[in-house]
Structure 1
Amino acid sequence: MSVRNLERRPDVREPMCPSRLVLEHVTSRWGVLVLAALLERSYRFSELRREVGGVSEKMLAQTLRTLERDGFVDRDAKPVIPPRVDYSLTALGREAAEQVWALARWSERSLDAVDAARTAYDGQKQDA
């Protein structure tokens, strides 16, 4: 039996699956919002920070570095004074962002049902 036959396909349900880390990066609090924003167009750092809203400079920089390392975001530093850096999605990033955007849209459409479920749950807990 070859080593290739012993290799298993990635399965996010497995505790040691490397795809878990990718999923964590893409679905992190700020990762989702950065990918969704960049789906519209490229942004400079300060523009992206305003677009995302509520994120600190440190957290945005960390999120962008992580997404760049994973191949989702392209950082284009222009050799001008003052320095100009534009962030945009790679092809892989666009694919991930579209999936994240679909989940975000679903959560918006499902908000009433989620609120109703929360109210019902909270009512049951108070009655118990």
Structure 2
Amino acid sequence: GSLQIWWISFQWRRIEDWTYFSYVTFMVLPSMIYVLSYLVLPADLHLDGATLVREFIARRRPFYALLGLVPLASYLQQWMLVGDVPLHDVDTLLRLFWLVAAVPGFVSPRVAVQATVAVASLAHMLLYISLLFVQLH
């Protein structure tokens, strides 16, 4: 996640007129990813698998609430930095996936649901990164 955000952020290098608010908006996404990482990883990384699962299930609601805000933060960032947000393109649909994926993860404490969301998220991330690289070439 962090590497992807840094890569996408590279496109903002040509913006010449930065304000304090555009910089704060720019930093929202990396900050959100940092907090998401904190919520996923427990303080003690030497826990067994079952305890790690219980730790995540206990933190899943703030994790998925924040994950659902990621697309909204990315739209806010784009709007603040370039003044528009495309609404009818593949990138918009792919970003909205995080909002949709957050709902079942937020609602259900079942391990099977969490595993399904995790696998779908990994597949989505790989697809998203692949499409970004295709657009760059």
Q: When the two structures are superposed, what TM-score results if normalisation uses the length of structure 2?
A: 0.30
Higher helix share: 2
Greater C-alpha radius of gyration:
1
Q: When the two structures are superposed, what TM-score results if normalisation uses the length of structure 1?
A: 0.31
